[in-house]
Amino acid sequence: MEFTKSQRVFTELCKIIPGGVNSPFRGFNQVGGTPPIIVGGKGSQVYDLDGNAYLDLCCGWGPLLFGHAHPHIVEAVQKAAVKGTLFGASTEGELKLAEMVREAYPSMEMLRFVNSGAEAVASALRVARSVTRRPRIMKFEGCYHGHVEALDAAGQEAQEAGGPLALGASPGAAAETVIANFNDLQSVRELFQRYPQEIAAAILEPVTGSMGVIAPQPGFLEGVRDLCHQHGALFILDEVLTGFRLAKGGAQERFKIQADLTCLGKALSGGLAMGAYGGKAEYMRSVSPTGPIYQAGTYCGNPISVAGAIAELELAFQPGVYEHLEELSTKLVEGLKEIGGFLVQNVGSMFFIAFGPERVQNYQDSLGFDYPKFARFFHAMLQKGLYLPPSTTDAACISAVHTEEEIDRVLELTAQVMEKFDK
């Protein structure tokens, strides 16, 4: 494949935009090389400026449950845009969407729409601190919650980047964050014992997506929830990645658990900018204008994103969608395991490929990733027309519009790559 036009445009982008990207995930820092400049997508495919076509296994980093430019979503967005792109006032669509979200997530008795998953997380933390009158937040090493200062500036991964000041964050905000280990209940107990009456909430991804795709061990989520409640803290699940991707009710449905507060994003809106947070009504009534917690945003619940989200969930709520995704995912992952030569782990339609460890259950395990080897693998796959996330740590995804024939193609091309990989 040739990338001449992409290279030219990317070079110009780097002169104006840091790293040439508006989100660092899009850069190829981990794998090297120049990112292709994408000009369009349809269904399971994306196309770049040089005319190359790729089978998309990134799916916009997770949101595209029904692939690119699904006609039902496109039509809904177009109809909404004709009526007006922004009103700064409530619309009937917000009620319909809120009811759909609450149907899928019974734990979200009340909710509010925002513009991103990170915004949902930041808002949920404010709710937790306000209702408990406590300062500290417990996070889990390696769980990613977006560009939220108190969380992304704390922990080993932040220290490896130079600490809070190097990251441009407040050391005070980072100091109020305490760090537990994923899949390790004892670390949670010890933190509650060390900081009695200080921890407002524990927040975690029920399935991790940025240190590999790691499932919670049996009893882990329930154990964290129970410890939170024993110590008067809130139990927050960041379902920005898992919400509406792993099931209609996300990880909470899949693992039969409910959170005090839930954060959503990604697959909620079919590729438009949107997030949501919510939980028990007694907590959410503390949000302005009914309570003291000020959270606002001009574009929150805007009619374009709301229309796209309603259309997305109308598709997702159809019978058999998640069963179909499970069948495709099982076929893909079992086939990849048969090919061998790398680690593959998945939960539903989220999966990742890595070299080095035999399994990954927490952040410490992820430190064993062989990044140079993955970089070679990534570019070999890209040359075959398979677009993976340019990161061994981040979740890849498939969509409901991928076909069995396309899964067969992925397996065939991966086998070709691995046959020559170490030769």
Q: Which of 260, 266, 365, 394 is catalytic?
A: 266
Nearest CA-CA partner of 276 in 235, 244, 311 = 244
Nearest CA-CA partner of 208 in 358, 366, 67 = 366
Q: Say whether 394 sits in a helix, a strand or coil.
A: coil
Is 294 marked active-site?
Answer: no
Tokens of 138: 């417990």
| CB atoms closer than 10 angstroms to residue 370 | 16
Q: How many residues does the chain have?
A: 423
Q: CA-CA distance, 110 to 285, in Å (whole number)?
A: 8
Q: CA-CA distance, 253 to 262, in Å (whole number)?
A: 13
Phi and psi at 267, nearest 5°, equal -70, -5
Q: Which of 48, 56, 184, 238 is catalytic?
A: 238
Residues with Cβ within 8 Å of 290's Cβ and at least 6 positions away in sequence, in order, are none
Tokens of 290: 């009914």
Question: How does DSSP assign 395-419, residue by residue?
Answer: PEE--TT--HHHHHHHHHHHHHHHH
Q: CA-CA distance, 324 to 330, in Å (whole number)?
A: 10
Strand order across the beta sheet in which 53-56 lies: 38-42, 45-48, 53-56, 386-387
Q: CA-CA distance, 208 to 230, in Å (whole number)?
A: 25
Is 144 marked active-site?
Answer: yes
DSSP 8-state symbol, 268: G
Q: For residue 308, with 0-12 CB atoms within 10 Å meaning exposed, 13-18 middle and 19 or more buried, which class applies?
A: buried
Q: Which of 54, 105, 144, 363 is catalytic?
A: 144
Is 195 marked active-site?
Answer: no
Residues with Cβ within 8 Å of 18's Cβ and at least 6 positions away in sequence, in order, are none
Cβ-count burial 373-384 (b if 16+ within 10 Å, e if not): bbbbbbbbbbeb
Q: What angle do CA 276, 64, 52 make, to 5 degrees?
A: 145
- Catalytic positions are 144, 238, 266
